Amino acid sequence: MVPVAPRACAVLLVSRGGAGVEASLEGIESAILKQSGGRPLRLLRFSLPAGQGRDDRAVLTRALVDLASEGHTHIRVTGLFVVPGHEYHAMRRTLRAACEAVPGIEVQVSSPLLSTCTSLEVMVKALLEGLPTERLPEEAVIYVGHGHRAGRCDLHYQALAYALNRADPHAHLACLGGGLSFEALRSEILSQGYRRVFLLPLMMSTGGHARRDMAGPAPDSWQSRLEAEGLTCIPVFRGLGEYPGIATWIAGQTLTRDEESVNQPG
């Protein structure tokens, strides 16, 4: 990993939507500033409009134009994505198109969290170190991922689920969409005789999905369905950027120059 040269540097933290992601952004920004070593740094947040199928080239082009006008020719982009799925690749394509309108700049994009075996190990360690202190070793923990309804991200989540459960047999992972279904995990949780379950979002945001699908008041939320079986559920609203180990890893990836430029084919 080659450190960024000690000159003015711009870092763009990109999220989709925005509700509930502020605490993760703050954790990551704090880690970036700590690792920057006093180098000149322009740190910006950028929220892409929610919803798939949108053309974000205009808004991203404006952001790149503004940065270029300030003298930033090298821009690091970190998307707050867990897996290299549809939204990550759509962001890369959008950035590449936006770069065509802003000559003379180089834009590099950091990889999502679940991209390598090393980053997976970082995630497992950080997640388990960040468990609530009141959780007893024999109590169940369920991390709630987003997933994809067609299962396109299943392999990444399967790898994390396996690694988590190997490190802690009572730590589990299921997703709102895809092959790691709540139904299958629910049966396993009930068969193991747990009395108390901790629910944590495996997402940057603690907004809509966490407070509606994971632990909302509706009878079809995961919390409601487990409590209907007699279990005590304790939701923990903590975004991934709030885990020090994860924030530190993201910051390190952001401030190194080992990724290919998004301006280049790939």
As annotated, the active-site residues are 146
Backbone angles phi, psi at 72, to 5 degrees: -90, 110
Give bridge partners of residue 3 from the DSSP assignment: 256
Q: Which residues pair with 263 in a beta bridge?
A: none
Q: Are 227 and 194 in contact (CB under 8 A)?
A: no
Query: Is residue 214 within 8 Å of residue 222, measured between CB atoms?
Result: yes
Integer Cα distance of 141 and 80 in angstroms: 23
